[in-house]
Amino acid sequence: MDEPVELQEPLEELVRPPSRFQHDLAFPPPEQIRIYDDTLRDGEQMPGVAMSPRHKYELARALSEIGVHIIDAGFPAVSASERETVGRVLEGRRRGELRSDLEVVCMMRCTAADIDATMRVMDDLGVARDEVTYFIFTSASDLHLKYKLGKTLLAREGIPASEWLELPVAFYREANLRMMCDAIRYAREQGATAIEFGGEDGSRADPEYVKRLHVEGLRAGGTRPSTPDTVGCYSPFAVREYIREIKSATPDHPLVVHFHNDLGLGAWNTVVALGSGAEVFTTSVNGIGERTGNAPMHQVLLQLRYLFGIDIPGFRYERLRELARQLERLSGVPVAPTEPGIGLNVFSHESGIHTAAMLIHPATYQFIPPEDLGAEVRYVYGKHSGAMVIEHALRAAGIRPSAELVGRVMEEVKRLREERAAASDHGEFQRSYYRHLEGMGLSLEEVAEIARALATDGDGGSG
C-alpha cells in the first residue's frame, strides 16, 4: 500500500473532534489576540544563554516573518549590547526588513536613568521617541515590595535604610505606586506615547493591589497593563479567577499576561487567561527562559488552534519547526524530541501496530496534520517495526517486496537494532550533553580567576 485509503465518511463522523467539549472561556476575536514574543530578552535570561546583537536581529527577522505582533527587543539600560540590539531592530523595521506593523518593546525599571537610556537609542538613530513601546515595570507582591525593593523605596522617600524592616507593608505599597506613576509620567514628558506597565510577581500579590497598580498606572499615562506569573506557580483555576478580577478594574484597556512554566502549565495558563479577559500573551520560542522557561509559543498556538479552533490571522504555523531549529542553533539549547509540535519525533512512528494503521490512514494515530506544521510523517525502523512498514520502505526504494523478502528484512532489522542496543552506552552522550549545557555560562572558578587577575592588575595583590 503506497497511498492512504480514501475515507468513505467524513473524518469528523469517524472520530470525536478534540474541540468538542464544554467550557466557560470567552476568547477575544482572533484578530484581536496579540502574540508578544519575549525571546530576545526574557528568553535570553536562561542560564548560560547569550546571543549577540547580530544573532538577535536574525531571530527578530524570523519572528517578524512568522507573524508575531510584538517583540521585546531588550533592556537598553543594561548594556551596550542591549542598546545595539534595539538599534538593529529599529533600523531593520525602518529599512523594511521587519514588518512595519511590528511593535517593538523596550523594558526598563521605574527610573529616569533607564527611560533616558532608551530615549538616547532613539535619538542616536534619528527616529522619533514614540516609535517604541516603553515597558516600565516594578513589583507587585508584598514580598518583592518590602524585601527586594524596600531600600530603593526608602531612599526615594528620604527615609533612613535603618527603618527598612520596621516599616509596615502598607508603606511600601504606597511608595511603590508613587514610584511607578512618577516613572510613567516622566516617560510621557520625554516623548513616550505607548507605555506598558505592571508589577513582577503579580500571581502572588494581593489582587486588590494589582488592580490599584493598573488603575493608577493608566491614570498616570500608561496605555497597557501587564501582569506576570513570575515564578510559574499558578493553576488554570487560579488564572481564570485572577484574570477576570483584575481585568474588571480596567475593562477598556488590553491586558498583557506573562506565564512561566515551573509546573508545566505555562501554555495552558496562557490559553485560560486569553479566555478570561486578556488579549495579549507573551511567550518565547521553544519556551526558553529562566528556570523552566516561559510559556512556549508553539504550545500556546497549537492549543488555541486545535482545541478551540482559533487561528491567528497572518501567523505562519508551517514555519514553527523551522523557527525552533533556528533558535536551537543560536542559543545552543536543543528541544526534546517529544516536544509538542516542534520535536523531532512528533510525526515519527516505529511501532508495527502504529505504522500499519498510519499507512492505511495517517489520522489513525495523528490528529495534527503534519503539513500544518511544514512536516511529513517519518518512519523509523527498528525492533518494533512490522511487515507493512518494511514493505512500504522496500517499495519506496524501488525493490519488489515479496513476502519472503519482507520477512527476512524485518528479522534482520530487528536483529541489527537489538545488537546495537546491547552494545550501546549512552553515558558519554549524556555526559557530553550536560557538559555542553553547564559550560554555556562561566563557572565559579572562572569568575574567581577573573577577580584575582583584576585585583592583581589594580593594586598589586589579591588581598
Residue 101: the pLDDT is 97
Give the separation between CA 379 and CA 387, rounded to whole angstroms: 13
Q: Which three cell numbers stand for residue 132?
A: 517604541
Statement: residue 186 has pLDDT above 90: yes
Cβ atoms of 382 and 348 within 8 Å: the answer is: no
Q: What is the mean pLDDT of residues 139-159?
A: 98
Give the separation between CA 308 and CA 306, rounded to whole angstroms: 6
Residue 199 — φ and ψ, nearest 5°?
Answer: -120, 130
> Which residue carries 516542534 as its cell?
342
Q: What is the mean pLDDT of residues 220-235?
A: 98
Statement: residue 347 has pLDDT above 90: yes
Local structure of 260: helix, strand or coil: strand
Contacts of 247 (CB under 8 A, 6+ apart): 255, 276, 277, 278
Strand pairing partners for 241?
none
Q: What is the average pLDDT value for the chain, to the nearest integer?
A: 94
Cβ atoms of 294 and 282 within 8 Å: the answer is: yes
Statement: residue 362 has pLDDT above 50: yes
Least confident of 221-230, 301-310, 441-450: 441-450
Statement: residue 430 has pLDDT above 70: yes
* pTM, full prediction: 0.94
Statement: residue 1 has pLDDT above 70: no
Q: Is 32 exposed, middle or buried (0-12, 13-18, 19+ CB in 10 A)?
A: exposed
451: left (phi over 0), alpha (psi -120 to 50) or beta: alpha
Residue 3: the pLDDT is 81
What kind and span of H or E run contains 120?
Answer: helix 112-125
Statement: residue 415 has pLDDT above 50: yes
Q: What is the mean pLDDT of residues 344-369?
A: 91
At position 412, the amino acid (one-letter code) is E
Give the separation between CA 408 and CA 64, rounded to whole angstroms: 52
Q: What is the mean pLDDT of residues 50-58?
A: 96
Burial 269-278 (b: 16+ CB within 10 A, else e): bbbbbbbbbb
**Of residues 155, 161, 115, 122, the one with CA closest to residue 136:** 115
> Which residue carries 516505529 as its cell?
350
Residue 114: the pLDDT is 95
Cβ atoms of 110 and 179 within 8 Å: the answer is: yes
Give the separation between CA 84 and CA 81, rounded to whole angstroms: 5
Give the separation between CA 426 and CA 121, rounded to whole angstroms: 49
Least confident of 25-39, 140-154, 259-273, 391-405: 391-405
Residue 463: the pLDDT is 40
Q: What is the mean pLDDT of residues 289-309?
A: 97
What kind and span of H or E run contains 195?
Answer: strand 195-200
Residue 458: the pLDDT is 64
Statement: residue 93 has pLDDT above 90: yes
Distances (CA, A) of 200 to 117, 296, 306, 424: 21, 19, 31, 47
DSSP H helices, 309-461, are 320-331, 352-360, 387-396, 403-423, 427-438, 444-459
Burial 212-231 (b: 16+ CB within 10 A, else e): bbbebbbebbbbbbbbbbbb
Distances (CA, A) of 311 to 30, 89, 206, 299, 355: 7, 27, 34, 13, 30
